[in-house]
């Protein structure tokens, strides 16, 4: 039976209801790893151990750069790829909401991971997509971690064997009675994740959620709000049909946003060009106008002075004649 002697535990980096997560050092490879260990107390230990083994076997079969890789596993523990980075939930807590541009870039990488999972011969339904399970690595890549709630999708099954997920992010069908979860379940969780990333609203607040559906959100384009709204439709048939369809919608939204930026730039450029032309014309004609005014003044002022002098002489002559020559 495998044990943890190969790994030197460095520090605890996380904890859940049934397990603890540590950063550790692999003595064999000299690399840093992540070790997930089940807590050994509680009535559900044997059930949780079986669940962890299923998770390990699933991860062993997955080959995608955006999925945290399995390195080793044994009774009650898993050793995983160490990802240096920060979860989206932590980024939200520290930096606040993401811009639409940032969110779309992350969303495209994320939807491609889900597309890979759904496109497998035995499709994997992740079921617990949320900001806490998405890591933005220091390399800028997007990683999906914690496959504890994931399951294999099999056509014909009427329901899930267990109902797992996170309240607020989970789709209506994850609460039972609506049939087994499917790729469209992950699409719902994906939409709720984007909603929290861009608005920061409490997604368990029905009033806030309804307000977004009706009015959108400040800072979000109408096009992007429509993508989120279609993902989070309560009825599965009203959501996007596949991750490929969402990917196309996201890429189209980038094109439309860039087109809008270009149009706004062109409008501003046109106004600037018009003003520039007017200023240039003013500068171009300023000197000739100035010269004309000066020339006209040189011609007109002497003549005006002459007319004033003549008028003065006539007035003086009139006064002398009328008032001083009568008595002579």
Q: What is the pLDDT of residue 282?
A: 64
Residue 150 domain boundaries: 85-262
268 part of a folded domain? no
Q: Which residues are annotated as catalytic?
A: 128
Same domain, residue pair 158 and 228: yes
pLDDT by residue, tens only, the chain of 328 residues: 467 899 999 999 988 878 899 999 999 999 999 999 998 766 667 888 888 999 999 999 999 999 999 999 998 999 999 999 999 999 999 999 999 999 999 999 999 999 999 999 999 999 999 999 999 999 999 999 999 999 999 887 777 667 678 899 999 998 877 788 999 999 999 999 999 999 999 988 889 989 998 888 888 999 999 999 999 999 999 999 999 999 999 999 998 877 766 666 666 766 767 777 776 666 766 666 666 656 766 766 676 667 766 777 777 776 666 666 654 4
55 part of a folded domain? yes
Q: What is the pLDDT of residue 251?
A: 96
The enclosing domain of 17 has a CATH number of 3.30.200.20
Final residue belonging to a domain, choices 262, 284, 315: 262
Angle at 133 between CA 128 and CA 136, to 5 degrees: 145
Q: What is the pLDDT of residue 98?
A: 96
Q: What is the pLDDT of residue 274?
A: 76
Same domain, residue pair 115 and 136: yes
Question: What 3-state DSSP class applies to 315?
Answer: helix
The structure tokens listed for 239 are 């959501």
48 part of a folded domain? yes
Annotate 157-195 with three-state secondary structure: CCCCCCCCCCCCCCCHHHHCCCCCCCHHHHHHHHHHHHH
Number of domains observed in the structure of the chain: 2
What is the C-alpha separation between 52 and 146, in angstroms, rounded? 10
Task: Please give the model's pTM, rounded to 2 decimal places.
Answer: 0.78
Final residue belonging to a domain, choices 232, 262, 292: 262
CA neighbor of 150 nearest in space, from 192, 104, 183, 199 = 183
Helix/strand number for the chain, H first, E second: 7, 10
The enclosing domain of 121 has a CATH number of 1.10.510.10
Same domain, residue pair 170 and 93: yes
What is the C-alpha separation between 57 and 42, in angstroms, rounded? 24
175 part of a folded domain? yes
Q: What is the pLDDT of residue 42?
A: 60
Q: What is the pLDDT of residue 94?
A: 96
């Amino acid at each position: 039976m495998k044990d943890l002697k190969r790994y030197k535990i460095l520090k605890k980096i996380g904890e859940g209801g049934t397990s603890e997560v540590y950063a550790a050092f692999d003595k064999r490879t000299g690399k840093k790893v992540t070790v997930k260990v089940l807590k050994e107390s509680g009535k559900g230990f044997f059930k949780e151990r079986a669940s962890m083994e299923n998770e390990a076997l699933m991860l062993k079969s997955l080959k995608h750069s955006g999925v945290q890789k399995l390195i080793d596993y044994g009774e009650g523990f898993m050793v995983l790829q160490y990802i240096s980075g920060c979860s989206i939930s932590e980024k939200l807590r520290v930096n606040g909401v993401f811009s639409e541009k940032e969110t779309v870039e992350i969303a495209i990488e994320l939807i491609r991971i889900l597309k890979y999972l759904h496109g497998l011969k035995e499709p994997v339904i992740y079921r617990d997509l949320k900001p806490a399970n998405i890591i933005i690595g220091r390399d800028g890549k997007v990683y999906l971690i914690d496959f504890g709630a994931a399951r294999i999708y099999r056509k014909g099954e009427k329901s899930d064997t267990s109902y797992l997920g996170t309240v607020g992010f989970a789709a209506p069908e994850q609460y039972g009675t609506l049939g087994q979860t499917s790729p469209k379940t992950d699409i719902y969780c994906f939409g709720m994740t984007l909603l929290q990333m861009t608005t920061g609203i409490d997604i368990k607040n029905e009033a806030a959620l309804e307000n977004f559906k009706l009015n959108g959100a400040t800072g979000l384009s109408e096009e992007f709000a429509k993508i989120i709204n279609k993902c989070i439709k309560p009825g599965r048939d009203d959501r996007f049909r596949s991750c490929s369809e969402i990917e196309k919608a996201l890429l189209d939204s980038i094109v439309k946003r860039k087109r809008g930026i270009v149009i706004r730039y062109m409008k501003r450029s046109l106004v600037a060009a018009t003003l520039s032309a007017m200023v240039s014309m003013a500068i171009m004609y300023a000197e000739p106008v100035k010269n004309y005014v000066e020339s006209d003044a040189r011609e007109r002022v002497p003549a005006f002075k002459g007319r004033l002098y003549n008028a003065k002489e006539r007035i003086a002559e009139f006064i002398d004649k009328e008032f001083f020559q009568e008595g002579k």
